[in-house]
Chain A
């Protein structure tokens, strides 16, 4: 049986910006995991704020790109928003537990 397609239809590829956003998110998450596993507080700031913000920016562009799948863009936004929120929450909670002057 032959596969039939209509000429006009296009395959929905991922947006490039969404893909890059997701990759940035995964990279920052990896660094965050390494930091948690080796129990250090000296996680390079680049991976906590600047890179995730860039990831969110690219993800938003990806979401507004027409005729492209936005799956990676949404994941990119989600992961990149999670990282700074996680860090700020952790700082706040650590400060409340057994706080010392």
Chain B
């Protein structure tokens, strides 16, 4: 080892010792705290950190519900999504449920977290009065509807469930080319055995397709035509392209004076019907679930109606029972199916 190298090593050792001396000196001379004071600092520090954590966590927790509520309202409000859904629900009822109306002003909606409930009442005109038919509650999870929950106030309960048999059981009007599955004499017996002092609704199946304006002329005067079942090309077979049973679609025969009704008389009911079909075509899935009908086939049926014009194969009428009995003699009517019956209210 060279002398030069030894000298460097000595220098390094001296520097190290000097540095260590200085450090030890610094430790002794620097201000220090007693153990008690140090504990106090740690205690205060940990308390402060804990309090901050608790308060911030609490704030985040309390912010969650308002933020989720706000997101839900933004989702339904922006672009009018909720209004479209409410519209779909209302208009589906008008065109899929014979002689059923609703008051658009009375449709209520309740928005929950990422969901909405649309509730409304439906009415049936029997005689001269509207009777509460159903209380309906449709739940939407975001924009996905569930089958409506219904409380029925009708004497003839609609078939429950969601299947092919249910659709067939619910049929009351038949196309001239379709077979009538019930005994028409027995159906007329129901009408014949009802007391004279009652009013009823009757579902008529015509022997041939008719223009809407021909119907009132063909029927006795002391009754009101409520709803017209329109031939859409599928009613003769009562099946869609895939063999799924379809139900009638149609529209109210009378102008509806209730506020916001689409059939308020600004356009003819036929024009409104076609507009509603166009609107429902864009929201067919929702309409199918709301109407509990497996297949609406709106696009094909709308095209058929536009190409062939509106031709009616069935109608719902209401009036005094003695007047309804006269329908048995009308040659255009090949089957009558009695619906709801009420005590005399005819004006």
In the assembled complex, the CB of A48 is this many whole angstroms from the nearest CB of chain B, namely 12
Encode contact with A along B58-74: 1 for CB under 8 Å, 0 otherwise.
Answer: 11001101100110011
Whether a CB of chain A sits under 8 angstroms from the CB of B52 is: yes
A6 x B73 contact (CB < 8 A): no
In the assembled complex, the CB of B238 is this many whole angstroms from the nearest CB of chain A, namely 36
* Distance between Cα atoms of A70 and B163 in the complex (Å): 64
B59 x A79 contact (CB < 8 A): yes
Given A2-B33, A98-B107, 5 other A-B residues pairs in contact with their CB atoms under 8 A: A5-B31, A6-B31, A75-B59, A98-B83, A98-B108
B33 x A97 contact (CB < 8 A): no
In the assembled complex, the CB of A100 is this many whole angstroms from the nearest CB of chain B, namely 6
B52 x A71 contact (CB < 8 A): yes
Whether a CB of chain A sits under 8 angstroms from the CB of B299 is: no
B66 x A22 contact (CB < 8 A): no
B86 x A98 contact (CB < 8 A): yes
- Given A3-B41, A22-B55, A97-B83: A33 in contact with B65 (beta carbons within 8 A): yes
In the assembled complex, the CB of A13 is this many whole angstroms from the nearest CB of chain B, namely 8
Whether a CB of chain B sits under 8 angstroms from the CB of A14 is: yes
- Given A6-B31, A98-B109, A100-B105: A93 in contact with B66 (beta carbons within 8 A): no
Whether a CB of chain A sits under 8 angstroms from the CB of B219 is: no
Number of interface residues of A (CB under 8 A): 33
Whether a CB of chain B sits under 8 angstroms from the CB of A66 is: no
Point out the residue from B58, B62, B70 that lies within 8 Å of A89, measured CB to CB.
Answer: B70
Q: Which residues of B are found within 8 Å of A75, using beta-carbon distances?
A: 55-56, 59
In the assembled complex, the CB of A40 is this many whole angstroms from the nearest CB of chain B, namely 13
In the assembled complex, the CB of A39 is this many whole angstroms from the nearest CB of chain B, namely 8
Q: Which residues of A are found within 8 Å of B86, using beta-carbon distances?
A: 98
* Distance between Cα atoms of A97 and B105 in the complex (Å): 13
Whether a CB of chain B sits under 8 angstroms from the CB of A42 is: no
Q: Which residues of A are found within 8 Å of B62, using beta-carbon distances?
A: 26, 29-30, 32-33
* Distance between Cα atoms of A6 and B29 in the complex (Å): 12
Point out the residue from B66, B109, B111 that lies within 8 Å of A82, measured CB to CB.
Answer: B66
Whether a CB of chain A sits under 8 angstroms from the CB of B30 is: yes
B81: nearest chain-A partner, CB-CB: A97
* B61-120 CB contacts (< 8 Å) to partner A: 62-63, 65-66, 69-70, 73-74, 76-77, 80, 82-83, 86, 105, 107-109, 111
Encode contact with A along B8-35: 1 for CB under 8 Å, 0 otherwise.
Answer: 0000000000000000000100111100
B69 x A36 contact (CB < 8 A): yes
* Distance between Cα atoms of A86 and B33 in the complex (Å): 50
Whether a CB of chain B sits under 8 angstroms from the CB of A47 is: no
In the assembled complex, the CB of A70 is this many whole angstroms from the nearest CB of chain B, namely 12
* Distance between Cα atoms of A82 and B59 in the complex (Å): 12
Q: Which residues of B are found within 8 Å of A25, using beta-carbon distances?
A: 59
* Distance between Cα atoms of A71 and B48 in the complex (Å): 12
- Given A2-B32, A26-B58, A36-B66: A89 in contact with B109 (beta carbons within 8 A): no
Whether a CB of chain A sits under 8 angstroms from the CB of B190 is: no
A79 x B63 contact (CB < 8 A): yes
A22 x B59 contact (CB < 8 A): yes
Q: Which residues of B are found within 8 Å of A90, using beta-carbon distances?
A: 69-70, 73
Q: Which residues of A are found within 8 Å of B73, using beta-carbon distances?
A: 89-90, 93-94, 97
Whether a CB of chain A sits under 8 angstroms from the CB of B44 is: yes
* Distance between Cα atoms of A37 and B65 in the complex (Å): 9
Q: Which residues of B are found within 8 Å of A11, using beta-carbon distances?
A: 41, 44-45
- Given A26-B59, A86-B66, A90-B70: A3 in contact with B77 (beta carbons within 8 A): no
Whether a CB of chain A sits under 8 angstroms from the CB of B258 is: no
